[in-house]
Amino acid sequence: MQTDEKKENNGGGLVISEEVIAAIALNAAKDVDGVAGFAVRTPDVHSILKIGDGPLKSVRVWAGDNDIKLQIYIIIKDSKKIPTVACEVQRNVKNAVQSMTGRVVTKVNISIAGVDFTEPIENKD
């Protein structure tokens, strides 16, 4: 019986942690013009048990056998249109996660957690 378990476990499958998937998603999202930053996601059992400042604080990952679903909490710049930025974030995140993990991303939900109204500081010399 023990040999059967070893055969199943040694199938050659690659395990990618949720934290790595979240880091890929954050890096892809921050490259989009209009994203000011990321917000802390709403607490759940998983986030309460994982204490720290890792990428999982702003991204929720559901990794199935063949697919990945993501929820990203972003803060948008005040001069940008929300639908345009959200669509671009979805596209970038999906492409980056699929190309780096080799798994299909079936859903990327974007939650706009806030709008950054701070004005950029200009140098006046």
Identify whether 67 is part of a domain.
yes
Is residue 79 one of the residues assigned to a domain?
Answer: yes
User: Are 32 and 25 in contact, with CB atoms under 8 Å apart?
Assistant: no
* CATH code for position 102: 3.30.70
Please check the confidence at residue 3 and state whether its pLDDT lies above 70.
no
**Does the pTM of the predicted model rise above 0.75?**
yes
How many degrees, rounded to 5, is the angle at CA 85 between CA 107 and CA 19? 45
Q: Is residue 19 part of a domain?
A: no
| Residue 49 placed within a domain | yes
Q: How many domains does the chain have?
A: 1
Q: Is residue 55 part of a domain?
A: yes
Containing domain of residue 88, as a range?
A: 32-116
Hey, what amino acid is at 113?
A: A
Q: Is 35 exposed, middle or buried (0-12, 13-18, 19+ CB in 10 A)?
A: buried
Q: 42-97 pLDDT, tens per residue?
A: 766 655 666 556 777 899 999 888 899 999 999 999 989 999 999 999 999 999 99
Residue 64 lies in a domain: yes
Is residue 81 included in any domain, yes or no? yes
- Say if 26 falls within a structural domain: no
